[in-house]
Amino acid sequence: MEKEEMIKGFIEFLRNYADSKGNKVYISKINDLLTVTPKKSLDIDWSHLNAFNPPLAQELIENPEEVLLAAEDAIRTILLEDFDEEMALHARFYSLPQTLLVKELGAEHINRLIQVEGIITRISEVKPFVQKAVFVCKDCGNEMIRLQKPYSSMVKPPRCENCGSRNLDINVEKSSFINLQTFRLQDRPESLKGGQMPRFVDAILLDDLVDIALPGDRVIITGILRIIMESKEKRP
């Protein structure tokens, strides 16, 4: 599915999906986010999307990274055209068709949007994550932008794109940062059979999702399952 088709599909869904009384569910939610309970995220029920546009709902599960970007582009368009607000909101989906146990995660779930239940066994401190890194050449002053991913090593230009110098440094003031936190989700004891060892998966929380849970909390989480190579490189 092409990106423009996905954006159009989300705009139609968010503008027109209504409850049994005819109330526009997501237009109302967006209005509340702007006026009543300011948040950075719009929570979207996947089952609503599936009822309105099944192909788009399935595409979200199979190709979540691109589809989530399209959803956020659609939200940005609605904010600008319907509310005269130039801002961005995260699209957060819940109520997926299947809830997995940690021990059920397998290769078939990699790079898909999944919903998992378990118990949080540990959680990190909140740290800054450089979302957009601006590198500056110390020799000629040229600036280069690299967008970063929280699950990958930092992407750096090998040399200046203007003069070829390797004398580069990150400009913290011009770079943009968001909060990042990691936690470990483990199988609940009652989901294990006698003698079975619990499995775990590490998860990343970004921006407004940090500090929403504590060790010992039993949760259902939605996210993209990824394979992350261990790296000793530290991030700023």
Q: What confidence score (pLDDT) does residue 235 get? A: 44
Mean per-residue pLDDT, 50-57: 98
Instruction: Judge contact between 119 and 103, C-beta under 8 A.
Output: no
Here the CATH number for the domain that contains residue 135 is 2.20.28.10
Q: Are residues 61 and 74 in the same domain?
A: yes
Q: Residue 145 forms beta bridges with which residues?
A: 134
Burial of 93 (0-12, 13-18, 19+ CB in 10 A): buried
Q: Are residues 8 and 81 in the same domain?
A: yes
Q: Are residues 161 and 89 in the same domain?
A: no
Q: Are residues 46 and 117 in the same domain?
A: no
Mean per-residue pLDDT, 210-221: 96
Task: Give how many domains the chain has, as a whole number.
Answer: 3
Here the CATH number for the domain that contains residue 215 is 2.40.50.140
Residue 65 domain-assigned? yes
Q: Which residues contact 144 (CB under 8 A, 6 or more apart)?
A: 134, 135, 136, 137, 157, 160, 161, 168
Mean per-residue pLDDT, 19-25: 95
Q: Are residues 134 and 57 in the same domain?
A: no
Q: What confidence score (pLDDT) does residue 231 get? A: 56
Instruction: Judge contact between 210 and 179, C-beta under 8 A.
Output: yes
Q: Are residues 87 and 136 in the same domain?
A: no
29-36: list long-range contacts, CB under 8 Å, 24+ apart. 30/75, 30/78, 30/79, 30/82, 30/83, 30/89, 31/83, 33/89, 34/83, 34/85
Range list of H helices, the chain: 3-16, 25-35, 46-52, 54-62, 64-83
- C-alpha–C-alpha distance, residues 118 and 216, integer Å: 10
Q: What confidence score (pLDDT) does residue 38 get? A: 82
Q: Residue 69: left (phi > 0), alpha (psi -120 to 50), or beta? A: alpha
Tell me the residue range of the domain where 24 lies.
3-94
Here the CATH number for the domain that contains residue 23 is 3.30.1640.10
Residue 233 domain-assigned? no
Evaluate if pTM is beyond 0.75.
yes
- C-alpha–C-alpha distance, residues 89 and 66, integer Å: 16
Q: Are residues 107 and 211 in the same domain?
A: yes
pLDDT band at residue 230 under the 50/70/90 scheme? low
Q: Are residues 206 and 110 in the same domain?
A: yes
Mean per-residue pLDDT, 76-105: 96
- Among 75, 94, 113, the domain-final residue is 94
Q: Are residues 202 and 151 in the same domain?
A: no
